Amino acid sequence: MQATQLFIDGVLYNVSVWNVVTAYDGRSGKVLWTFDPKVAPEWARLACCGPSARGIAAWKGRIYIGALDGRLIAVDARTGRQVWSVQTFDRKDAYSITGPPRVFDGVVVIGNGGADYGVRGFVTAYDAATGRKRWRFYTVPGNPARGPDGEASDNVMPMATKTWNGEWWKYGGGGTVWDSFVYDPKLRLVYLGTGNGAPHVQHFRSPAGGDNLFLCSIIAVNVDTGKYVWHYQMVPNEQWDFTCTQPIVLADLTIDGVERQVLMQAPKNGFFYVIDRKTGKVISGKSYVPNLWASEIDLVTGKPVVNPESYLTLTPKLMTPTALAAHTWHPMSYSPRTGLVYLSAQEQWMVMARVKDEDFTWVFHRSNSGFSYASSPERRELQRIADSREKGYLLAWDPVKQQEAFRVNYPYPGSGGILSTAGNILVQGTVNRTLAVYRADNGRKLWEMDTQTVAIAGPMSYEIDGEQYIAVNFGWGGSPVHGIDAASPRIQFGPGRLMVFKLGAKGVNLPPMPPPSPVPAPPRLTATEDIIRKGEKLFGETCSRCHGERARGGVKDIRFMTPEAHAQFNAIVLDGVRKDKGMVGFKDILKPADADAIHAYLIARANEDFKDESFAPAPIAK
């Protein structure tokens, strides 16, 4: 559950996984209507981190939904009945939509994801009233031999093409705009945050290097025409799965005595950027986490001073920040009252390397990275170091001084988005499975409640008759968090829920959590080392996006399966018998022998981790 609700005229609108939208009476919680776009379960396979939905938009009596399968749907806000629907991408390609649509001045803007699978990023604007297309902006060049696309981005594609080489278009190139766009009504500019390259490893995408515009950039386009106005690229030579799709926040800040109209972003690469939103010039950029990628931003050239050691090679090395992000889609918040920005920061380490040229294969409809997943004793040791360094905290950051104001530490990464209010409070779902309220000026904890699961979504606040309410979606999942599945006793997460709070509320008792399920002892390991290594590589390529690096974390821990799941393994993995739960079959790209190898690898991983006493579950009362 990743979405933040909308509140309009007494009604609270929410969206859950599979894009199911529900309207509630804001006071009583009574359901007014539900709209289910009935997305086919097969689409889960093309959404890197689950069939999540990060929000909906509203305009003049309508609610807008970006469905996972690429439909942009307008429904009547009063009745929940569909008014119009358009398909925003070719359903044959590996795109999906998890980010929210946004409406600016009668124009609905929608992006997509899919760079992990191999697509070319673009954003499309539609007329909010009719669903007619207004403009489209491609974020990376296509095959130059094909000529212009006939779209709003045509005039800047020659500039972008110069920064690429090789045959990137065969792999799509990437740069998908999968989460944040923001609008400045005075400047009439829409700011688009673009994602990672496809495939991830630049060596395979653009072998002679190059900036690869407009990967990991912010692009400002005119709202009426979709024409380019400026861009700022945060990550030239993108090859770390860094994305600049993270929330963009607009503010007016006084910097060196001058009031500046800025936009702020804390993307995956660990730097906090303050950018002049009229010109695109970077005003300042500082890393808010330990950073092996770059030491600083050169304010004269606007470019990062990249640590040469961080470029990917065949030799595995420790990296931070990583694909797992110093901060990702979780809403960050700026309080004009304190002058601080609040975000869910994390120190996530990974071991990174690329595969040898002869081992790079591109498979349609599979995550295609070029990263190496092969292990060795040295690599396992580095991985142990990586795991031991994970951290997560609520970070209060001063964007003018570019320095930390305070932090609230958590035992793991994985806490949620942050709301700050004019009442000087911060509201955040914590990885401790609580909802916490802190003072916004100093981080002192004011209140906390056990909520059985984590709210990774951003909370929101609304008012009815002078009373303030706070609404939050609770629900764990999405991007894998390493360390949390090594916790002892094992952490159990409650079900997804929308919860609404107010001062003096009568209160609701949550139903008790079921007793923790025992961790079944893994089957005996019988496979050969060769088969296990084959399975490791296939797992890394095909399964790790959802089931976590080295099969820890993600949507479901598949190291410790029940005997039934072991018995059904090939039916689940190849035939997709659990597709209604989001586990679609991979028969088209895996053979039975491949599934057997992955199974062997998982059994090996289970035996490896089960031996570790710290992994034993809390004792269960018989």
Between 75 and 598, CB nearer to ligand HEC: 598
Q: Of 97 and 108, which has the nearer Cβ to ligand HEC?
A: 97
Q: Any idea which residue has 């981190």 for tokens? A: 49
> What length does the chain have?
622
User: What whole-number distance in Å separates Cα of residue 397 and Cα of residue 344?
Assistant: 11
What single-letter amino acid sits at 182? V
What tokens were used for 141? 């060049």
Q: Which stretch binds ligand HEC (CB under 6 A): 264-272, 344-352, 576-584, 613-621?
A: 576-584
Token pair of 593 as six digits: 């022998």
Tell me the two tokens of residue 35: 């709209």
CA end-to-end span of the chain: 33
Q: Which of these, 117, 407, 434, 419, lies nearest to 288 by C-alpha position? A: 407
Q: Residues near 162 by Cβ (< 8 Å), separated by ≥ 6?
A: none
Measured CA to CA in angstroms, residue 603 lies from 256, 362, 381, 489, 609 at distances of 59, 27, 20, 21, 10
Residue type, 350: M
Contact between 555 and ligand HEC by CB under 6 A: the answer reads yes
Candidate list 241, 557, 594, 609, residue with the active-site label: 241
387 in active site: no
How many residues lie near ligand HEC (CB under 6 A)? Answer: 21
Q: How far is the CB of 525 from ligand HEC (least distance, A)?
A: 17
Nearer to ligand HEC, 233 or 542 (CB): 542
Check residue 581 for interaction with ligand HEC (CB under 6 A): yes
Q: What string marks each residue from 298 to 337 as x (binds ligand HEC by CB under 6 A) or -?
A: ----------------------------------------
Residue pair 446/425 in contact by the 8 Å Cβ criterion = yes
Pick from 3, 44, 455, 460 the residue near ligand HEC by CB under 6 A.
44
582 binds ligand HEC (CB under 6 A): yes
CB of 146 to ligand HEC, least distance (A): 31
Q: Which stretch binds ligand HEC (CB under 6 A): 60-68, 127-135, 253-261, 567-575?
A: 567-575
Rounded CA-CA distance 457/475 in Å is: 8
Which of 289, 341, 561, 600 touches ligand HEC (CB under 6 A)? 561
Residue from 73, 382, 457, 583 in contact with ligand HEC (CB under 6 A): 583
Binder of ligand HEC out of 547, 550, 552, 605 (CB under 6 A): 547
Tokens at 447, concatenated: 């209140």
d(CA 133, CA 125): 6
Is residue 213 within 8 A of residue 183, CB to CB? The reply is: no
> Which position among 39, 283, 323, 558 is part of the footprint of ligand HEC (CB under 6 A)?
558
How far apart, in whole angstroms, are the C-alpha atoms of residue 397 and residue 327? 13
95 binds ligand HEC (CB under 6 A): no
Does residue 572 interact with ligand HEC by CB under 6 A?
yes
Q: Under the criterion CB under 6 A, does residue 201 sit at the interface with ligand HEC? A: no
Which residue, 289 or 598, is less far from ligand HEC as judged by CB?
Answer: 598
Catalytically active residues, by annotation: 241
Residues making contact with ligand HEC (CB under 6 A)? 44-45, 542-543, 545-547, 555-556, 558, 561, 565, 569, 572-573, 578, 581-583, 586, 598
